[in-house]
Amino acid sequence: MKSSFKSVSIAVLILWISASFGIITEALRLSQEPSVTILAPSSSIVLLDLKAREIETINRLWLNGYLGLYFNFHLVGYWSWLALPLLLVFFAGLKKKKKWEIALACVYLLSVVLIAIKGYFNSRYALTLVPFNLTFILAFGRDIFAVFDRILRVGAYGFIVLLIIFNIHQYNPTMFQIISPSKDDNLPWGLLNNINNMNLGRDAAFLECNAPAFYYYTNKKGLSYSKRFGLKKPGILTEKGIDNIFQEKAGVKKLNPEKVARAFDIMKSRYNVKYIFVRSLPDYFVELSEIIRYGCDLLSTEKSYSLFKLKDHFIHPLLEVKKKLPIYQSDFSKWRGPATILSGDLAKTLPPLVVLGIRGEFSLTVSPNSDDRVIRLTPVQKDKNGNVLIFFGCFTNHNGFDLKIPTGKYIVFRAILNLSNPKKTLAQILVEDEIEDWEGEASDINKPGWNQYVVTKRVRDNAKNIAIGISWQPEKETDSLEIKKLEIFII
């Protein structure tokens, strides 16, 4: 009888250890390798947030999120999952358990469910149950191991000790780096001191976004640009709630420049905002990004914090173009050549346009109607690698485009285009400048039919060259790109 009990114990222990290695390695593999299903579109800011939390795929959502208390090995260690088989053993012997033990188990399970549902996105909430988990594993485990003979008991405890040593070995270097007293912090002490030393009027305010360090470390008045109160309404937090100064819904990708200009005026007149203090401004704050881009001067940057000063006036290029004449406006009536040409002849046929980059061959055809001419671009031939791509436009001091580099100013490039296959082809209008390397802004050509596309770029100081044009990579031979109008402004 005793020997059969011992055999069963050995079998259980071997099964437990084998299963545990299988579970650990499989869970490690699943949690480390991204699975097929991505939970958010790759271009969205939500995905970046999910990736930072390591829950961006279905596998990781379950292992690191809902069941993070047991399988988020990086954070809870390699022993926490031991609670699961022990819980099964506990519930198998429920009839013999005391009321307080069952009550604790109930509270524990309800808490696990609560944290899984409401707190899966934040691993700190799983931490709530970690001390209880470990206490349960050791206390209840001891009661179970007590029926084993000595060697098995040593084996069982030894296994737990091994997991803990593995924990320490995995995280030991990080822990000692963290507790080193020479570790630099992430606060912008210089910026904060400058803010404290500023001599401002009593009502002068700093607009703060994503930077509560402002309130704790400075003595100045702040206004919070809403972040924590949902992205439903972007605006300034007041006593009465969010003042939606942009009158826009959150998540808007393309802003009305007039609304942004009006919001800028409200900031200055109603709230007396003089400066903007931000930390790593998230991309989804497009409205505030526009204010900073076109209405502020950067004063200082330190450790991911930035301080901007509001300009006297908000200058958005798309508003200014209404008041200005273009420095270049396409005039296809000056087409010099046959109705259809190859891309190599573009420079002499329609100056100052030139081909700035090409793979394969394209043809350009001008419409016969002399009053409202349209250029039609079509691919003719792929290159030897099977690629076909064209980038054409204007380049400073080439082919009659004599432009003095307008450093510090904005170039606005506006085009009226019709792309035949916007979903399958890659097409953009671009403005780029060159110092050591090229840097540019682009706007995707992504709608069917005739549409106006605009791109603006501030020319960097010390820029040597500027390229303004259209880039297009068609998918098939029947694709086409039609151009009605091209305009370039300097603001």
Partner 1 sequence: MTESLFFLYKFLFTNIIFAFILCSCLRRLNKDQEHSTVELFLVSLGLAPALVTLLLYFAFLCCPPLPSVGYFLIITVVYVSLFWLGRKEFPVIYGDFKYWLIRKWHKLKKHENNGSPAPGIWTRRAKEITRWFYVSLVLLVLIYLALSFRSVLHMPVDGYDTLSYAAEGKALFKIKHIEFRSMLLDPETGIYLPSLHAPSFSLILTWEKILNSLFGLKSDLFFRSIAFYFGLLILAGQYYCLRIKGKWLALLGTIGLLSCFSFFCALIYIHIDTYRIFFIAVVWFYLAGALKKRDRLSYLLLGITSGMAAFAHTLGALMAAITILVFFVFLKGSLLYKLKIASLVFFLTLATGGIHYVIDTLWGSGWIFNFHL
Residue 179 sits in the site that holds partner 1 (CB under 8 A) = yes
Residue 140 or residue 332: which is nearer to partner 1 going by CB?
Answer: 140
The 183-222 contact track toward partner 1, x by CB under 8 A, reads x-xxx-----------------x--x-x-xx-xx---xxx
Q: Whole-angstrom Cα distance, residue 299 to residue 463?
A: 21
Find the shortest distance in angstroms from Cβ 6 to partner 1: 23
Residue 84 or residue 442: which is nearer to partner 1 going by CB?
Answer: 84
**For tokens 């950067």, what's the residue?**
298
Residue 22 sits in the site that holds partner 1 (CB under 8 A) = no
Among 104, 250, 255, 347, binds partner 1 (CB under 8 A): 104
Residue 158 sits in the site that holds partner 1 (CB under 8 A) = no
Give residue 15's identity as a one-letter amino acid code.
Answer: L
Name the one range near partner 1 by CB under 8 A: 10-18, 95-103, 356-364, 428-436: 95-103
Find the shortest distance in angstroms from Cβ 488 to partner 1: 43
Among 3, 42, 43, 174, binds partner 1 (CB under 8 A): 174
Residue 171 sits in the site that holds partner 1 (CB under 8 A) = yes
Q: Whole-angstrom Cα distance, residue 130 to residue 108?
A: 11
Cα-based distances in Å from 92 to 97, 172, 227: 10, 38, 48
Among 15, 46, 168, 435, binds partner 1 (CB under 8 A): 168
Phi, psi for residue 208 in degrees, rounded to 5? -110, 140
Residue 132 or residue 335: which is nearer to partner 1 going by CB?
Answer: 132
Phi, psi for residue 264 in degrees, rounded to 5? -60, -45
Residue 45 sits in the site that holds partner 1 (CB under 8 A) = no
Find the shortest distance in angstroms from Cβ 117 to partner 1: 10
Contacts of partner 1 in 432-471 (CB under 8 A): none
Find the shortest distance in angstroms from Cβ 239 to partner 1: 5
In DSSP notation, 108-128 reads HHHHHHHHHHHSTT-HHHHGG
Among 77, 295, 393, 422, binds partner 1 (CB under 8 A): 77
Q: Which of 429, 394, 383, 405 is nearest to 490 (CA)?
A: 405
**For tokens 């064209």, what's the residue?**
390
SS3 label, residue 386: coil
Q: Which of 303, 281, 305 is nearest to 292 (CA)?
A: 281
Q: Whole-angstrom Cα distance, residue 209 to residue 291?
A: 13
Q: Are 47 and 38 in contact (CB under 8 A)?
A: yes
Non-local (6+) Cβ contacts of 424 within 8 A are 475, 479
Residue 28 or residue 454: which is nearer to partner 1 going by CB?
Answer: 28
Find the shortest distance in angstroms from Cβ 283 to partner 1: 17
Name the one range near partner 1 by CB under 8 A: 18-26, 99-107, 334-342, 378-386: 99-107
Contacts of partner 1 in 247-276 (CB under 8 A): none
Q: Which of 448, 444, 333, 355 is nearest to 399 (CA)?
A: 355
Among 20, 35, 111, 272, binds partner 1 (CB under 8 A): 111
Residue 278 or residue 455: which is nearer to partner 1 going by CB?
Answer: 278
Q: Which of 377, 382, 381 is nearest to 363 (CA)?
A: 377
Find the shortest distance in angstroms from Cβ 41 to partner 1: 24
Q: 276: how many CB neighbours lie within 10 A of its CB?
A: 26
Find the shortest distance in angstroms from Cβ 304 to partner 1: 12
Name the one range near partner 1 by CB under 8 A: 13-21, 178-186, 338-346, 471-479: 178-186
Find the shortest distance in angstroms from Cβ 293 to partner 1: 24
Q: Are 137 and 144 in contact (CB under 8 A)?
A: no
Residue 75 sits in the site that holds partner 1 (CB under 8 A) = yes
Number of chain residues interacting with partner 1 (CB under 8 A): 73
The 117-156 contact track toward partner 1, x by CB under 8 A, reads -xx--xxxxxxx-xxx-xx--xx--x--------------
The token duo for 197 is 């030393």
Find the shortest distance in angstroms from Cβ 268 to partner 1: 17
Residue 244 sits in the site that holds partner 1 (CB under 8 A) = no
Give residue 58's identity as a one-letter amino acid code.
Answer: I
Among 44, 193, 238, 247, binds partner 1 (CB under 8 A): 238
Q: Which of 192, 159, 146 is nearest to 79 (CA)?
A: 159
Residue 224 or residue 420: which is nearer to partner 1 going by CB?
Answer: 224
Residue 473 β-bridge partners:
426
What is the torsional sign of CA 316, 318, 322, 328?
positive
Non-local (6+) Cβ contacts of 414 within 8 A are 321, 326, 452, 453, 454, 485, 486, 487, 488, 489
Q: Whole-angstrom Cα distance, residue 218 to residue 209?
A: 15
